[in-house]
Amino acid sequence: NAGVTQTPKFQVLKTGQSMTLQCAQDMNHNSMYWYRQDPGMGLRLIYYSASEGTTDKGEVPNGYNVSRLNKREFSLRLESAAPSQTSVYFCASSERGREKLFFGSGTQLSVL
């Protein structure tokens, strides 16, 4: 099993460009999450999806949109990238809201 797969691994954008980060899990998990991690900091929750068809804001949702395409996939979109969004983005999944999280390997995003 691959677990949680994120694409791309690295991306450089110019200010104002848009892009979508992809995340897929093969563990039949109900809940999926997007986090960002700035240098030297802990992870902060951007958005989460407790189940297929639902999404909710986390701690830092501004500037992002998400789509829970199906049970496997949860994408994060930056409509107009800003330098403040330079970060490492992690996707995670769990069977249910209280179960342990499984994380992907991250996407390193730089916005110039």
Our CB check for another protein shows the closer of 67 and 103 to be 103
Cα 45 from Cα 34, distance rounded (Å): 6
Q: What does the binding site for another protein look like in residue numbers (CB under 8 A)?
A: 4, 31, 33, 35, 40-45, 48, 50, 56, 58-59, 88, 90, 92, 94, 97-106
Our CB check for another protein shows the closer of 17 and 44 to be 44
Read off the DSSP letter of residue 73: B
Q: How far is the CB of 82 from another protein (least distance, A)?
A: 22
Helix (H/G/I), strand (E/B), else coil: 84: helix
Residue 36 buriedness (CB in 10 A; 0-12 / 13-18 / 19+): buried
Q: How far is the CB of 75 from another protein (least distance, A)?
A: 17
Among left, alpha and beta (phi > 0; psi -120 to 50; other), residue 79 is alpha
Our CB check for another protein shows the closer of 17 and 30 to be 30
